[in-house]
A and B are shown apart, each in its own frame.
Chain A
Amino acid sequence: MLKAKLFQASPNPLQLSIECIPGELHALVGPSGSGKTTALRTIAGLNNAESGKIECNGKLWFEADDVRGVRTSLEPADRSCGFLFQQYALFPHLTALENVCIPLHNSANDLTQRRLLAGQWLERMGITELADRMPNQLSGGQQQRVALARALARSPQILLLDEPFSAIDAPTRQGLYKTLAELRKDLNIPILLVTHDLREADLLADRITVIDNGVGLQTAPPQVLFERPRNSRVAELVGISNKFEGVFAAGKLSWNGCQRIFDVVDKGKIPPNTPVAWVIPADGISLHENSSSTSIQTQVEQISALGQIAVIQLRTIEGNHVITWEASAAEVKRLALEIGKNTYLEIDGGKIHIMPLRPINDPRRFTN
């Protein structure tokens, strides 16, 4: 199991706590420059944090605090982690097989044995026939497979993946997703994946930590993260489009600029009369031709047809809020939607998730 608590003020701020159990794929997600790669490099020992602690399977890799400074800091070579670089970082003067032999230098003294073991890894990656090719004779996907074989060859205790699929075309990426999924079952080690692609994290990860400006904002399974973001910034970062502001008091949410009051379930964490952000998932919204006592009048502002799906942009008459709604082509036809048409929106209060509005640099956001 990997446990890491990292803090540094500069050059890239970091205030993060991560736990990853064997067999888990834990994604670190955040915008560019948010510190996710710095966190990964710090765990690998390529950077040192100002303070914090990194433990892997009970072994202390790094420990430092403000008073006594760095007390323990193992060299990257001694940390037993496989690291997959975004740009592969294959040794350009060595063949694919020789690249995979490199991490075996200290575990298998005999060259024949090293070549045998490396060959087995290439076979596992499905690239045996590329063993004698130089890196510049391999495609991006093939290079990444060699790099993955190299990262795993020394039987690491954790696997660290730094945006490993971002430089690869979509079909090849799908193949690598499959390989990674198969490897996960066999390896049973913690895997940390850094990505800025939420869909990728949603597809691959058991849990996601959202990072912003070096701070871990929320760690949760993808489903929970998308449905119940901890705060407004998380909702923004995970790309929730229907995010609004209101005031919450005694189970009632009033929407800024609207008369409509929603009955909302809350865990009692939010004090009365608190300004809040709230989100509503797609299945909490429905659109009707006729009004009802609970409906909100809207006007169709934009219709973007994307194959069998259409993204409808609605604007509320009261409050002037913009709501995005995804509908099938059939539903667009049934409601006879067209730009400028008045429609009636129903929002299911039970599906509303409310969260506190907090400024970005509020230290209380370090919640892990």
Chain B
Amino acid sequence: MFDLEALILSLKLAIWTLVLILPFGVWVAHSLQNMGGKRSWIEAALALPLVLPPTVLGYYLLVGLGGKTILGIPLVFSFAGILIASLIVNLPFAIQPIQRAFEAINPEILEAAQVSGLSKWQIFRLIELPLAWRGITSAAVLTFAHTLGEFGVILMVGGAIPGETKTVSISIYDKVQSFDSSGAGALSLILLGTSLIAIALSYGVFGGHPSLTRKRRG
């Protein structure tokens, strides 16, 4: 049977993750530009979810969040819990592409903005953010696709409560366990399609801005 509830929950989780992590990712990535010696430590810490086994991360989150609540909502085996887990897991996917995009901006362009009389906020809003747009788009696509497919950490922190923490990936696992091949296949196909569309959007629609892809003169 097709698990629409799990699909809607996964989409809800991916959208919430995106909404919360993107502004934070932009802020962190931008702040890292001006950091001195501590930068590499912070970068290493932010990249940790990439190499840490999801079950290990999930275990620590379970231990760390267990018994705690936000506004009366428990943080384990709840949507709030898997949202926090998703935010932490996605940090490197959200921050690194944006950071690379900020780094790719020619420093002379930022100096030109300074001597044009722009304040730091104006430089960020009018120059840096538009020039880093491709990196932000990549970060959004990666985060969205990764959240839809996240399994280990979600299972550890949220379990598999239908409508609350049972996402598409967990539903696929459950269906395979109960020999529901057609249900698992349908959901897998949806995840595959979503991933392909996300990648196509990233490379096609947003990747073709002439001013951002041109080779700089001189």
Interface residues, chain A, CB within 8 Å of chain B? 44-46, 75-83, 85-93, 102-103, 105-107, 134-136, 140, 143, 147, 150-151, 154, 167
Contact = CB atoms under 8 A, between A and B. Distances in A.
Given A44-B115, A81-B115, A105-B117, A89 B218 contact: no
Contact of B113 (A88, A102, A106, A140): A102
Contact of A135 (B108, B111, B118, B211): B211
A155 to B, nearest CB: 10
Contacts of B108: 85, 87, 89
A134 B211 contact: yes
Contacts of B113: 91, 102
Nearest to A81: B115
A102 B210 contact: no
B122 A92 contact: no
B130 interface: yes
Interface residues of B, number: 25
Contact of A167 (B126, B130, B218): B218
A97 to B, nearest CB: 14
Contact of B114 (A77, A86, A150): A77
Contacts of B212: 92-93
B3 to A, nearest CB: 43
B106 interface: yes
Interface string B179-218: 0000000000000000000000000000001111010111
B126 A76 contact: no
Interface in B106-152: 106, 108-109, 111-119, 122, 126-127, 130-131
A102 B130 contact: no
A76 B217 CA distance: 25
B114 A93 contact: no
Given A93-B130, A167-B218, 11 more contacts: A77-B119, A83-B111, A85-B108, A85-B111, A86-B218, A87-B217, A90-B109, A91-B113, A91-B127, A103-B118, A150-B116
B218 A92 contact: no
Contacts of B130: 93
A93 B218 contact: no
Contacts of B209: 93
B10 to A, nearest CB: 34
Given A89-B108, A105-B122, A105-B126, A154 B116 contact: yes
A339 B218 CA distance: 44
A85 B112 contact: yes
B217 A140 contact: yes
Contacts of A107: 117
B27 to A, nearest CB: 21
